A and B are shown apart, each in its own frame.
Chain A
Amino acid sequence: MKKWKAFKGKWELSLVLFLIIEIIMFGLINPRFLKIKVLMNSANDFVTVAIIALFMTLVIITGGIDISMGSVVGLSSVVMGLLWQELGFNIWFALSIAIIVGALCGAFNGFLVGYVGVQAMVATLGTSFLYAGISLVIIGFSGISPAEGITGFPDSFRALGHGKLFGVPSSLIIFGLLIIIAYILLHKTTYGRRVYLTGINKEAAEFSGIKTKLVILSTHMLVGIGAAISGMYITSYLSSSRADHGATLTLSVITAVVLGGTAITGGEGSIVGTALASVIIGLMTLGLQMTGLSTQFVGIGIGLLLVISVAIKSSLGEGNLFSNIKRKIKSNNG
């Protein structure tokens, strides 16, 4: 038990260590990997995952999960593209509405989970169909080819994904900014405190007068906003608005959060951990590509990271079934 505690305290430290080893390893295989520019540009690829993962951390801390974010990414992208192209909205106005749509999608998830009491997994499975379906319906009515999507965005919008400030790519700036926002939100505000308390013991939180349903709803809403921001970024970066932009994000996002030290059962986790894990996953993607391996190894790598990191934690942790039952019997003892 003591060993585990010491280990847990150093989880973020071990992530940093892992990151350094990763960089050195890929650097040895391909020295080009170590160029600052290359490293910085890698953010272009992983930021879509990272943005969502930062907010997903909050949902998972409350003990929930959201698997509909991929669909929300696509939906927000489609909504923005259509408002701009078909209805002639100002691009930034269209973008704002798309983010509101993301927030509403998240809020609906949160309503189902927090207020109706549907399991988070089931609720977001259903809405994942629904949101993806709505994107398809919108596209279907507009008569746009789903394969090509909407293209031809103005340069000002494309700068969102391709611009640079003092030589730093926009993706890295967005990532940094959102880390700060999420960090302050979770670790410095009373709201973040309520998120933790809800995740650690929902009942006790209720007895402390915390509105846990509202807390749960709001965390899902944040993921919705995160997914929409991610959708905006990817739309700009690829210069095309499509429904399937977020199709394969789920695995990476959940891996980033869990690898970052957030317990899937809720109650613990940190933004720094998630951010570090996102970078680890991002660099692994880049590194594997640069070593000439097919990109498909990335999926294997991420999958292994996920399973191994959780397996290590759960075999060391006390949350396994047997000890839980023992504890339950013990607490009934009277």
Chain B
Amino acid sequence: MTIIKRIFEKREITALAFLIILFLGVGLRNPDFMNTQSISTVLKGSVLYIFLAVGMTFVLLTGGIDVSVGATLGISAAISASMIRDGSSVVLSILLAIAIGLIIGLINGIGVAIIKVPAIIMTLGVLGITRGTMIVYTNGKWVENLPDSFKVASQANLGGLNFYFILAVIIVALVQLYFSRGKTGRFFAAIGDNVEGSILVGIPVKKITVIAYVASGFCASVAGVIFASQVGFVTSNTGLDIEMVAIAACVLGGVSLSGGIGSVIGASIGAIIMTAINSALIFLKVPSFWNKSIQGSLLILIVVSDVLIHKYFQDKARKQRLSARSSFVGGDK
């Protein structure tokens, strides 16, 4: 059992192994799935989810949740796309879109950390407000006819890899470095792990919680800009339900929804898995309508086994502790 325990502690590795097996398994049936083009399509397609999952990881580590990221993605995509279409400077448009994401994150953070609204309620409310605002802004119309230069950026390659994917990898690496090496990096997980302990060792719990939501908003808005560039148009449904995919990706990659456990690398691998399942179905010539139920089953399977394994070890530790107490008789005579 300790081996199983070890493996489950390194969930990034299990997730990666799963991803490799997925590629190999599908590759056996259809070798085309393993060629560079197919792989690069999967990686390119996963960029959005990687960004969302990275932001979500900040929040989940603190023991919270952010379901507003889909709407944030939508509004950032709409704003940046419409400004660029109308001839504004690309840089300015992107900066504004990102500022919107930061503000939404700040509102979420203040609501959760300072006003103490439960995270699911706060972000659900902000989801409604943001999505409504987005559609009011676009008047419910599509934002189309983006300049080619903006769209072309999504096709840019560097050494065979998609430019946005490289950007995502850099961000993931930086955040991972921050979480493991930065002075305040471990604070996020500490809050989700043991709030009382965090207060006692002097962690600024409120400030760190706010930062987590701001990070999530930031990542979602970057994902929004990338969406606009990759897809080339923004509909009023952009980002709808995408928060569910992001959360699922995190869980697949070993981020715990009760806080304290997880890494951005795991979350990113989870995000790639979510995209890879989709492509795998195409290559297996399985109708794409299977996609959601496979994702759902996988998610349930993973959380259930996580819970059961955790319970098993917790129970075992408790029994050991109690037995140790009662087996020792008259020792301090």
Contacts and interface: CB of A to CB of B under 8 A. Distances in A.
Contacts of A300: 128-129, 132-133, 136
Contacts of A128: 244, 296
B103 interface: no
Contacts of B122: 307, 310
B304 A112 contact: yes
Interface string A113-129: 00011110111011111
B299 A125 contact: yes
10 contacts: A118-B303, A132-B292, A136-B290, A136-B292, A251-B127, A294-B135, A296-B131, A303-B128, A310-B122, A328-B196
Interface in B268-326: 287, 289-297, 299-300, 303-304, 307-308, 311
Contact of B296 (A112, A132, A296): A132
B219 interface: no
Instruction: Kindly state the interface size class of chain A when it binds its partner.
Output: 35 or more
A121 B296 contact: no
Interface string B228-271: 00000000000011001001100100000110000000000000
A314 B116 contact: yes
Contacts of A301: 132
B124 interface: yes
A122 B296 CA distance: 11
Nearest to A139: B289
A299 B240 CA distance: 13
Contacts of B121: 254, 258, 264, 306-307, 310
Interface in A290-334: 294, 296-307, 310-311, 314-315, 319-321, 325, 328
A130 interface: yes
Interface of B: 65, 111, 115-118, 120-122, 124-133, 135-136, 139-140, 195-196, 199, 205, 240-241, 244, 247-248, 251, 257-258, 287, 289-297, 299-300, 303-304, 307-308, 311
Given A125-B244, A133-B295, A134-B293, A298 B132 contact: yes
Contacts of B130: 303
Contact of A311 (B115, B129, B300): B115
Given A122-B303, A123-B303, A140 B129 contact: no
Contact of A129 (B132, B299, B308): B299
Contacts of B304: 112, 116, 118
A65 interface: yes
A268 B101 CA distance: 35
Interface in A236-284: 247, 250-251, 254-255, 258, 264-265
A229 B166 CA distance: 48
A181 interface: no
A294 B139 contact: yes
What secondary structure prevails in chain A residues at the interface with B? helix
Nearest to B115: A311
Contacts of B299: 125-126, 129-130
Contacts of A305: 125
Given A296-B140, A325-B196, A303 B126 contact: yes
A298 B132 CA distance: 7
A137 interface: yes
Contacts of A254: 121, 124
Contacts of B124: 250-251, 254-255, 303, 306
Contacts of A251: 124-125, 127-128
Which has the most chain A C-beta neighbours within 10 Å: B65, B131, B132, B290?
B132
Given A265-B118, A301-B132, 12 more contacts: A125-B247, A126-B303, A136-B289, A136-B291, A136-B293, A140-B289, A296-B131, A296-B135, A299-B131, A304-B125, A304-B128, A310-B117
A123 B241 CA distance: 17
Given A129-B248, A136-B293, A139-B289, A118 B307 contact: yes
B89 to A, nearest CB: 28
Q: Which 4 A-B pairs have the closest CB atoms?
A: A133-B293, A303-B128, A129-B296, A130-B296
